[in-house]
Structure 1
Amino acid sequence: MSTTRPYSPGDHGPESGEVPVVAGARVRRLSLSGASGIVPLARDFTREALHAWGWLPAATADRRAAAEDVLLVVSELVTNACLHAEEPDEIILYFGDAPANKVLRIEVADRGAGQPAPRTPHRAGRPGGHGMFIVQRLCLDWGVVRTPGVTGKVVWAEVGAPA
């Protein structure tokens, strides 16, 4: 799990100002600016994408767990943007379903200047502050992309597709 690399493996890096995505990936995008009920809205949007991409309805416990992990990660990333960056601007989902890249990528864009990080040391009994720890535990990888000269950031996380 990386919190220092601003892009995922295989990407060309931040010099282009964009985070490249595998060719042929399915993409869904939802603007969250000015919306109310942002976290449930983002979860419903993600649930619809999971249905369209065959993750739901889940035929096995492993598939159901993978879908629930995705929904939890979306909740945590969007909640973090609400709490620490005023509100998220947008959520984008990418799903590369080619055999070599069965990964779902979640991106949440916001205008915040902060740097998300798991609280260390993590104390399970302490209320609050578990969001990025949960993201770190459930995801293959995650990170932050900033574009020079542009306010805000994109926090991304990648979840492996169920077998």
Structure 2
Amino acid sequence: MSAALPDRGQTRRLGISGTRGVVGRCRDFSRTALADWGWLPDSGSGSSRESEPSSYGTHGDTDASYGGLDRDSAPDLDVDFGHDLGRDFGQDFDMDLDEDFDWDDERRAVAEDVLMVVSELVTNACLHAGGPTQLVLHCTAERLRIEVTDASPVPPRPRPRADPALPGGHGLVVLGRLARAWGSVPSGSGKAVWAEIAAPRRR
């Protein structure tokens, strides 16, 4: 994906306090990381922060800390269970038959999915868990894992038979459609809700 991404991948963390403007802050943080990792084309910033040197840590240092939190304070990134409801971008189309493929468009589309998932996870933490306490992004050549930690031990549960005509209750539906897998794990006295999105692929 990017020369700036080490073979082992890279983890970035954002410590969060309060809920005012938190969705926008987490989206900006994620957008900057995506640009650094090559998940966004150079011309697809849409944010002045992407043209500035990253203030979240040294590229290539998987043990760097972000937002004042060290690597050991984050939940285990190797837990592999949850809801496998999403899509794998490598299986959604015939790579050999798509003659109109645009690599920049593919990266922008996947990045938009990432930002939507970040928004949904952070919003759910604000609405149901008193607000998020940490955002963790762990990127490898194959996928991005997003984790949002909060102080509530109650795992997220889809609302039964949510009416599509009414607002609310659709966040986990959106999450299931955009992420290739998602779930939650205990983290201290609370939990971390995670989602994985496959890396954009050249066809």
- Give the shorter-chain TM-score range: 0.7 to 0.9
Mean Cα displacement is larger for which, 57-66 or 109-118? 57-66
Please tell me the residue identity of whatever aligns with 2:185.
V
Aligned to 2:197: 159
TM-score in terms of structure 1 length: 0.77
1:111 aligns with 2:151: yes
Aligned to 1:120: 160
Structure 2: runs of 5 or more not aligned: 1-6, 45-102
Counterpart Cα distance in 2 of 1:146 and 1:79: 19
Q: 1:83 to 1:65 in 2, by over 3 A?
A: same
Cα shift at 1:124: 1.9
Match of 2:104 among 19, 38, 60: 60
1:11-30 alignment runs, 5 A limit: 24-30=8-14
Runs of 4+ in 1 over 3 A off after TM superposition: none
Counterpart Cα distance in 1 of 2:33 and 2:147: 14
Structure 1: runs of 5 or more not aligned: 1-22
Match of 1:36 among 20, 26, 48: 20
**Maintained 8 Å contact 2:153/2:186:** no
1:125-144 alignment runs, 5 A limit: 125-144=165-184
**Maintained 8 Å contact 1:84/1:114:** no
Aligned length: 135
Q: Tell me how large the CA RMSD over aligned residues is.
A: 1.6
Aligned to 1:90: 134
Cα shift at 1:35: 6.1
Identity among equivalent pairs (%): 50
